[in-house]
Amino acid sequence: MLAGHFGIAGMVKAWRPALPMGALLVATQLPDVLFLPLVLAGAEGMEAAEPGLSGYGSMWIHAPFTHALVSNVVLAVLVGVLVHLFLRDRWGRDAGAVLGAVVFSHWVLDLVVHRPDIAILPGGAGGLPSIGLGLWEIPLVAAALEGALVVVGAALYTWRALRDTPSRRRAWGYSAGITLLLVGSLVFDLTS
């Protein structure tokens, strides 16, 4: 899931317009941003769930550090505290809590779609079972959920932009850009 995470950013931006869209987009993807260097280092990775299987949701994700439940709680709290300490005057008193929740939303959505490949403790410590509800095993339903998140995120973002931006042309431009990002990421998700 890539686009669905971005859809959350659009929803939150509509609810909290003072938060920069860039910060929301990064927050929704932060575990994946951290995942990439660990993949390059060989500490995390991906493999086909079944031999010959390809396409949307066809991978087992081996991300015992960046996607573990406890890692994501710590990451969300860390982001929340940093935003609260350094950006609350600019973004609002509860911006840290909101950004922390957005970071954690990544884990919640991944729990729904991933196969049971999500560790509870970092590194799979404690021998606890990996979890995941496996919606990717029903690609049509997973794609519909992700598409719904994109549509709702784009619609709410557009509604807020049209309501709050003095120039309707600029509001439509912002909305078109965000909608293209969301839809483009959904197409990428579904075709890769």
pLDDT for the residue numbered 191: 66
pLDDT tens figures, 9-46? 999 999 999 999 999 999 999 999 999 999 999 999 98
Residue 174 has pLDDT above 90, yes or no: no
Percent above pLDDT 90 for the chain: 62
pTM for the model:
0.89
Mean per-residue pLDDT of the chain: 90
pLDDT for the residue numbered 126: 92
Nearest 5°: CA angle at 73, between 69 and 76? Answer: 135
pLDDT tens figures, 40-92? 999 999 887 777 666 667 778 899 999 999 999 999 999 999 999 999 999 99
What gap in Å lies between CA 6 and CA 151, rounded to an integer?
A: 11
pLDDT for the residue numbered 192: 64
Residue 111 has pLDDT above 90, yes or no: yes
pLDDT for the residue numbered 52: 67
Nearest to 21 by CA among 152, 190, 177: 177
Helix (H) or strand (E) holding 13: helix 3-15
Nearest to 131 by CA among 63, 74, 182: 63
